[in-house]
Amino acid sequence: MKVDKGIDLEGIIFSYIDEFKFLIFPDKWNSAFMDYSKNEIMVLIFLYRCKTANMTEISKYINAPLNTTTGVVSRLEKKNMIERIRSKEDRRIVEIILTSKGNKFVDKEKDIILGFTKKIYEKLTEDEKSAAVSIFSKVRSVLMEDMHSKDVKSSEKKIKKITIL
C-alpha cells in the first residue's frame, strides 16, 4: 500500500512486525499472563481500576453480551482471581471484586509493562515525547471514530419489507 509521496506503509508495518515479533512470543512475557483471554485480562484491569463492579458494568466495559461476561467471570472466579459478593441489603445484587491474588497479578503485570514503557520513554528527547503523545492521541481518536461509526451502523434499525399478496 503506497500512501503520501511513495511511503510504503505496508513495508513499514511488516518491518516493524519482523523487528518486534518477540513481543508476541510467550517466553518474553510472564507465562501466567498468557493463560488468560483478552476478555479476562480486560475484566481484571477494569476491576483493578474500579475496585468493584456488577455484571452489567463489566459487560459494557468489555463490549460483550451478558452470557459471555458470565462465562468470563466464572473462569476468573475458578482461577481465584475474582469473587462475587452478594449485597447484604439486597441479595439479588452481586458485586464482583478482585481477590488479593488478582490484585497481586495485575500489579505484577502492570510493573512489567511500565518497565518496558519507562525504558522506551528514557530514550526519547522532549520533542519526541511530545510528538509521541500527539501521535498516540490522534491514533486513539481515529480508532474511536471508527468504533463509533460501527456502533451507529449496528444500532440503526433495519426495516424489512414484506410483500403482501
Amino acid at 17: I
Identify any residues that bridge with 84 across adjacent strands, giving them in sequence order.
Answer: 96
Are 43 and 22 within one domain?
no
Domain that holds residue 19: 1-32
Q: What is the pLDDT along the chain (165 residues), one digit of tens a residue?
A: 445 567 888 888 888 777 766 665 555 555 566 788 999 999 999 999 999 999 999 999 999 999 999 999 999 999 999 999 998 888 888 999 999 999 999 999 888 888 888 998 899 999 999 999 999 899 889 888 877 676 655 555 566 666 776
- 43: in domain: yes
What pLDDT does 56 receive? 95
CB 29 within 8 A of CB 21: no
What pLDDT does 4 receive? 58
Distance between CA atoms of residues 84 and 51, nearest Å: 12
CB 82 within 8 A of CB 47: yes
Number of structural domains in the chain: 2
- 157: in domain: no
* Full-model pTM: 0.71
- 130: in domain: no
66-78 vs 55-62: helix crossing angle, rounded to 10: 110
- 109: in domain: no
Distance between CA atoms of residues 62 and 39, nearest Å: 6
